[in-house]
Structure 1
């Protein structure tokens, strides 16, 4: 799928830059009873989709199993002057498809993983459920 962003446009290029460089994003999903569920997660943007790793038993995984519709939100934490929201469809990837030891994920989070006293191998074992989010709307 081609990216929804036109990098020749200033705003889209800015969104792409934020998606590549911001450390965390809010993942919003819907619980089975219809209530919203929001969590801050590490993520990787490849220009077309967002990749997130989760513990397989976490609430977000259970939510996505029932309802693939999600909302991602970036906030600059400077008074909300640069919010970015992404509506999309989440797919739970099969085990072994990709894990937290991938070179692109480690390029972004190696220091963060070390900072929480873990290793890439431990992270990959604990956060073994990969979630790919394909955007349908970016604002």
Structure 2
């Protein structure tokens, strides 16, 4: 079931550079990291390096929260379920991702293809609930 977003929440999901991804470690402690992301078709796409704490967490506990925090525009928290895609499983989204992060990729002197070789694990988050302040 798709969640209903306000136009402001949708715009922020399209334009903000970072979202805070929170999951649960195997021992039950929370784990939160800032990540680049792409909002598309009621899902969020993230790329990760293959050997990270966030992936170890998601393999055991796929329930996550995503948080956009901006004092001027309010806080948006999204709850969802993460799915680890097969490597190369998000190729169709790469042009939009590369366009969104063109300046960031240039700052790190990498192409989109180089980025996805390093951050080779795509994660698709299907959203289930919106909370905002």
- State the superposition RMSD in angstroms: 1.7
Where does the alignment leave 5 or more consecutive residues of structure 2 unmatched?
A: none
Residues 59-68 or 99-108, more deviating = 99-108
- SS of structure 2 residue aligned to 1:91: strand
CA distance in 2, matches of 1:130, 1:100: 12
Using the size of structure 1 for normalisation, the TM-score is: 0.88
- Measured in 2, the distance between the counterparts of 1:132 and 1:35 equals 22
Q: Report what 1:132 is aligned to.
A: 124
**Equivalent position of 2:82 in the other structure:** 90
Query: How many residues were matched structurally?
Result: 131
Pick 1 or 2: higher relative contact order, CA cutoff 8 A, min separation 6.
2
TM-score, normalising length: structure 2: 0.92
The structure with more strand, counted as a fraction of residues: 2
**Compared with structure 1, are the counterparts of its residues 137 and 93 closer, same or farther at alpha carbon in structure 2 (3 Å cutoff)?**
same
In the alignment, is the contact (CA less than 8 A) between 1:100 and 1:127 conserved in 2? no
Query: Can you give the 5+ residue segments of structure 1 that lack an aligned partner in the other structure?
Result: 7-11
Aligned pair 1:38/2:63, yes or no?
Answer: no
Which stretch of the first structure deviates more once superposed, 96-105 or 65-74? 96-105
Match in the other structure for 2:23:
29
**4+ residue segments displaced more than 3 Å:** none
Secondary structure at the counterpart of residue 56 of structure 1: coil
